[in-house]
Amino acid sequence: MSFDLVLFGGTGDLAWRKLMPALFQAFRHGSLPAGGRIIGVARDDLSDAQYRELIQSRFKAVEGAKRPSPEEFEKFADLLHYLRMDLSKPADYERLAQTLQERDADTVVMYLATAPSLFTQTVERIAAAGLGGPKTRVVLEKPLGHDLASNRAINAAVGRVLKEEQVFRIDHYLGKPSVQNLFAMRFGNALFEPLWRREYIASIEITIAEDLGVEKRGAFYDQTGALRDMVQNHALQLLCAVAMEPPINAHADALRDEKLKVLRSLKAWTPESIGMHAVRGQYTAGTAYGERVQGYLQEPGIDPASRTETFVALRAEIANWRWAGVPFYIRTGKRLASRDARIEVNFKPTPHAIFRAPAGASANKLVINLQPKDGLELHLLAQAQNSRKRSGDGTQPLATVQLDLDFGQRFGTERVGAYERLLLDVIDGRLNLFVRSDEQEEAWRWVEPLIEAWQNDSGPRPYAAGTWGPSASSAMIARDGLAWSEEQ
């Protein structure tokens, strides 16, 4: 199957940092279909050879094992081409159309790695140039809009020129191996499904923590914030993966129908619940990697009077029979104590304890590690084998043990990265791991009351860089008699 992948924003940060390494890995693994062509599109005045040199120089910053050797890159470079375009000029789209029609590939993928404000204009001009036919697929990066109204406007504009099955709204967390194995664990095994409900689960925590600051994204991030950048998309997609009902099959719409039901079941925010169950923060100067780092307001591109949040912690509930009364805790932030993304499923204790557990020992817990570690941990209580420690009835006390499955060790080089998997799915036309427009709108609907409330509040709470966020986050979860995992 021949394909053309047109990468709008082909010289940008996302292109060289994520997309090109992913495409190279697919090429190295032999999974990239033969007969492919990758066309970088940007305003820079470059030849094909200069573009290849640029991409090769960028690969020097890629993780060692994923970096191509000179021989490998020489072969990969044959796929790379470049076309100078000004996305505001219709004539440049005509040139793109001519370039694509000369080859007439079986599939044409348009990846919009550009500012979201350009999505509508770009998609409309793609269609006006005659490039919106059935073999075209358009990939849209997040955030898709700034609020519910802008998201609906983008989806409406895209829907006027493309069919829903041609639109691939990407959320790279859905491509992570651990998230894929979450689906496999839940729907490919009989072990957990009987326990996956309110009768057995006490709470669920979703953490997406970053130890970096805003880096070079200050101007973008200050207009976005943690709620729009992480919660509206990544965190809610993870919540859906954990909480959704078993779909009738593995087809895209069956999966997305069940995720949509979860989003529609989230309890709506009220002024009272926002005050009690929503915390936002902004990092100040602190310590990271053993060095002093500046606060958010001192970062390049940030308004010194900015009220943008870099941390969010929320308590959510799903109003359906499976999850009624089970709290879901979501937190995400920048400049936190470590880089750590995970989902923790905390099970209820045994109804009648006949063994003595050590002080502070938690009940059973399942941890789905997303990054930097990738795997599953099952925490159990087992009898300690120490002849000197016995209870009054002669039994040994219980101790915490865990079963640890590291996907990196188990599957090694067989593992496929998130963007690699998702790019291959776009080329093959598989929509399972992409977000449908009604899903996206429901997610925006749920977070919009927070956006509105935070416009008029006293501003985000400060927290020192290198910590786990403002103390109000700990107080929020403590009201339920619980604590974040690092505080237990």
Residues with a catalytic annotation lie at 234
d(CA 9, CA 399): 54
- Mode of pairing for the β-strands spanning 201-209 and 107-112: unpaired
Q: DSSP H helical segments within 19-118, as ranges? A: 20-29, 48-58, 70-77, 90-103
- Which of left, alpha, beta for 268 (phi over 0: left; psi -120 to 50: alpha)? beta
Count of beta carbons in the 10 Å neighbourhood of residue 262: 23
- The count of other CB atoms within 10 Å of the CB of residue 117 is 12
Contact (CB, 8 A) for 21 and 64: no
Query: By three-state DSSP, how is residue 392 classified?
Result: coil
Amino acid at 375: G
Distance CA 236, CA 343 (A): 12
Which residues are bridge partners to 6 per DSSP?
39, 110
Q: Give the integer Cα–Cα distance in Å for 403 and 188.
A: 19
Sheet of strand 107-112, all strands in order from the earlier edge strand to the far edge: 80-84, 36-42, 3-8, 107-112, 136-140, 167-169
DSSP of 234-268, one letter per residue? Answer: IIHHHHHHHHPPPPSSSSHHHHHHHHHHHHHHBPP
Q: How many CB atoms sit inside 10 A of residue 291's CB?
A: 7
| Residue (of 166, 256, 225) closest to 459 by Cα position | 225
Q: Which amino acid is at 181?
A: N
Which of 76, 74, 3 is CA-nearest to residue 34? 3
Residue carrying structure tokens 């859905």 = 174
Amino acid at 65: A
CB 343 within 8 A of CB 205: yes
Strand partners for 226:
none
Q: List residues bridging with 316 in a β-sheet.
A: 328
- The answer to whether the CB of 435 falls within 8 A of the CB of 171 is yes
Instruction: Determine how β-strand 365-371 pairs with β-strand 340-347.
Output: antiparallel
